[in-house]
């Protein structure tokens, strides 16, 4: 087996360059190299980097603002449903507005984290979750506002699930198995 002299990754036989770091293929692994220990050390470094990312001041600020906005949304919706101030928000459709709002805040939080916190590519799940919550809330509002007698909104949810699976498979195929 051939190993990269720069990053110690395994290089397929016949390859001229390391598939991991792009360095020219070297011969044997460095002296004292233990592949399993190296893998463990690299995983531990990734964990520490992620933990440090999630504990950064920028990330904590985004989390605090998101949580505060969700609480404010809940209070405003409860007030509108209880007071009858507007016919748009009732106890029957209160939760649909809540889902739309939480989905919007998840989208906002994920986008802010991607923009403000360097290297925070772990927030695509928040984008997907936000889109799903907004779709569920909008589907129920469309049923309650337009009086559709057919249950179309569960099909919208199923379509969203199929979309998530398709994106996951496409991501897996694009990145490969490794």
Domain boundaries, the chain: 2-51, 55-175
pLDDT tens-place string over residues 96-141: 999 999 999 888 888 877 777 666 666 677 888 888 889 888 888 8
Q: Give the integer Cα–Cα distance in Å for 151 and 163.
A: 20
Task: Give the pLDDT score at 80.
Answer: 93
Which helix H or strand E contains 66, and what residues bound it?
helix 57-83
The pTM of the full predicted model, rounded to 2 decimals, is 0.57
Q: Report the pLDDT value the prediction gives residue 81, as an integer from 0 to 100.
A: 92
Across 2-11, 61-70, 79-88, 128-137, the highest mean pLDDT is recorded for 79-88
Q: Say how many C-beta atoms besides its own lie within 10 A of residue 62's C-beta.
A: 22
Close Cβ partners of 35 (under 8 Å, ≥ 6 residues apart): 8, 10, 29
pLDDT of residue 67: 86
Which of 15, 16, 14, 24 lies closest to 6, judged by CA?
A: 24
Q: Return the pLDDT at 144.
A: 74
Res 23 pLDDT > 80:
no
Residue 143 scores a pLDDT above 50: yes
Rounded distance between C-alpha atoms, residue 54 and residue 113, angstroms: 10
pLDDT at 74: 92
Determine the 3-state secondary structure of 52 from DSSP.
helix
What is the spatial distance between Cα 77 and Cα 30, in angstroms, rounded to a whole number?
63
What would the pLDDT profile of 46-65 be if each residue is shown by its tens digit?
Answer: 666 555 556 667 777 877 88
> Which pLDDT score is estimated for 75?
94
pLDDT value at position 174? Answer: 77
pLDDT at residue 166 in the model: 85
Mean pLDDT over 21-43 rounds to 65
Q: What's the pLDDT score for residue 120?
A: 60
Sign of CA dihedral 113, 119, 122, 128: positive
Distances (CA, A) of 46 to 93, 121, 142: 43, 13, 44
What pLDDT does 178 receive?
Answer: 46
């Amino acid at each position: 087996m051939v190993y990269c002299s720069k990053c110690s990754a395994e290089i397929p036989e016949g390859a001229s360059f390391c598939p991991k770091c792009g360095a020219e293929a070297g011969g044997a692994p460095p002296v004292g190299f233990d592949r399993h220990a190296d893998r463990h050390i690299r995983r531990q470094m990734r964990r520490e980097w992620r933990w440090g990312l999630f504990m950064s001041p920028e990330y904590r600020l985004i989390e605090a603002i998101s949580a505060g906005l969700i609480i404010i949304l809940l209070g405003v919706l409860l007030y509108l449903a209880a007071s009858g101030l507007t016919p748009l928000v009732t106890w029957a459709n209160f939760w649909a507005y809540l889902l739309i709002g939480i989905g919007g805040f998840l989208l906002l939080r994920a986008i802010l984290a991607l923009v403000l916190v360097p290297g925070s590519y772990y927030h695509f799940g928040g984008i997907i979750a936000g889109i799903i919550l907004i779709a569920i809330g909008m589907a129920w509002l469309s049923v309650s506002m337009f009086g559709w007698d057919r249950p179309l909104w569960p099909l919208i949810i199923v379509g969203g699930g199929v979309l998530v699976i398709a994106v996951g498979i496409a991501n897996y195929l694009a990145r490969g198995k490794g």
